[in-house]
Amino acid sequence: MTGGVYFAAVPRLKWSLWLLPALACRGPFPQSTLDPRSDFSAAIDGLFTNIFWWALFVFVVVESLLLFAIIRYRARPGAPEPKPLHGHTALEIGWTLAPALILVFIAVPTIRTIFATAGHAPPSALRVEVIGHQWWWEFRYPSLGITTANELHLPESTPVQLDLSSADIIHSFWVPRLGGKRDLTPGHVTRIAFRSDSAGEYLGQCAEFCGVSHANMRLRVFIQNDSTFQAWVTRQRAGAPPERSGSIEERGRQEFVGHACFACHTIAGVSRGTLGPDLTHVGSRTTIGSGLFPNTTDWLKRWVADAPALKPGALMPPQAGPGVDIDAIVAYLQSLK
């Protein structure tokens, strides 16, 4: 019992281990389904709580009966053989009906929640097309004419409907505090509808194994109040600002078009590529690499220079090489606010 000796020698550690389960219930947990912030996730959380109490009730009843039987009918020296019970109609009806009733109490709210979270939003809902790619997320707002990636901006207190599909293989949309999980399947549209009244930033990630960088397929959802959201929309709809003649940004754009970048990425008015994320406003995002790294000059340089080194399997080949001005490309990308 090495562990026992060790703990006996370190009483403080032993006590702190007892505290671990209690500490595990304290935040912050950015991806906890138990801290819901939308009608969708509140419905799931409510169902979970409901079933938890039923499960606890069944546990207590069964264990109490078991303990009672063990103690009351245990073998005692000289006690007669216990008399087996056979054909007790009331008891048999009882233990058939009680579980059936409990299952009804679980099934009714479960089915209600399944329909409530099936993805039907009112016609006034804001529609966003969510397209899964290995390994990033594309977001298109058809009614607003916006295409962006990995960071989903949504207005507070407004029903939204996400139409989910995939460009390659099956992914799964999961933002635990807002909604999901729901699969994104090639050639088929699935839906999630929700409404959040809590402005904030919510983390999510792909929840269906989709290859080497599955764990790196993350996303962020920004629930914003009306004016912040409208300001974001206005910025996203505006074109890229023209670069000053002779500036590093202008050189960066020339590098972007002169090298392979333009073939995979769209920048409105500059290039049209669909393999990689739309970069028209990449400078306004908080992260790069599908939520993996902060959108800073240093990380962006490392990313453009050698993305697969930072994210295994990333399809963008390393761009660093003779005659490639990474600094200029990065300055240009950062100017795309």
Separation between Cα atoms, residue 306 and residue 304, nearest integer Å? 6
Separation between Cα atoms, residue 203 and residue 221, nearest integer Å? 6
Minimum Å distance from CB 290 to ligand CUA? 9
Separation between Cα atoms, residue 276 and residue 262, nearest integer Å? 10
* Peptide bond preceding 15 in cis form (omega within 30 of 0): no
Size of the site for ligand CUA (CB under 6 A): 9
- Among positions 35-94, residues that touch ligand CUA (CB under 6 A) are none
| Tokens (6 digits) for 251 | 């050189």
- List the x/- string, 190-219, binding to ligand CUA by CB under 6 A: ----------------x-xxx---x--x--
Among 264, 266, 263, 270, which Cα is nearest to 242's? 270
Phi, psi angles (nearest 5°) of residue 38? -150, 165
Minimum Å distance from CB 208 to ligand CUA? 5
214/301 with CB nearer ligand CUA:
214
Minimum Å distance from CB 166 to ligand CUA? 8
37, 171, 220, 265: which one binds ligand CUA (CB under 6 A) = 171
Minimum Å distance from CB 270 to ligand CUA? 28
- Please tell me whether residue 138 binds ligand CUA under the rule CB under 6 A: no
| Tokens (6 digits) for 24 | 């595990």
CB neighbours of residue 107 within 10 Å: 10
Among 151, 161, 153, 150, which Cα is nearest to 126's? 161
171/302 with CB nearer ligand CUA:
171
Q: What letters, b where the CB count within 10 A reaches 16 and e where it falls short, cover 176-205?
A: bbbbbbbbbbeeeebbbbbbbeebeebbbb
**Alpha helices for the chain (secondary structure H):** 2-9, 11-23, 39-72, 89-116, 226-237, 248-258, 261-264, 297-305, 307-310, 326-335
Minimum Å distance from CB 209 to ligand CUA? 6
217/336 with CB nearer ligand CUA:
217
- List the x/- string, 89-128, binding to ligand CUA by CB under 6 A: ----------------------------------------
Minimum Å distance from CB 186 to ligand CUA? 12
191/214 with CB nearer ligand CUA:
214
- Please tell me whether residue 162 binds ligand CUA under the rule CB under 6 A: no
Separation between Cα atoms, residue 188 and residue 330, nearest integer Å? 37
Minimum Å distance from CB 291 to ligand CUA? 12
- Please tell me whether residue 140 binds ligand CUA under the rule CB under 6 A: no
- Chain contacts with ligand CUA (rule: CB under 6 A): 132, 135, 171, 206, 208-210, 214, 217
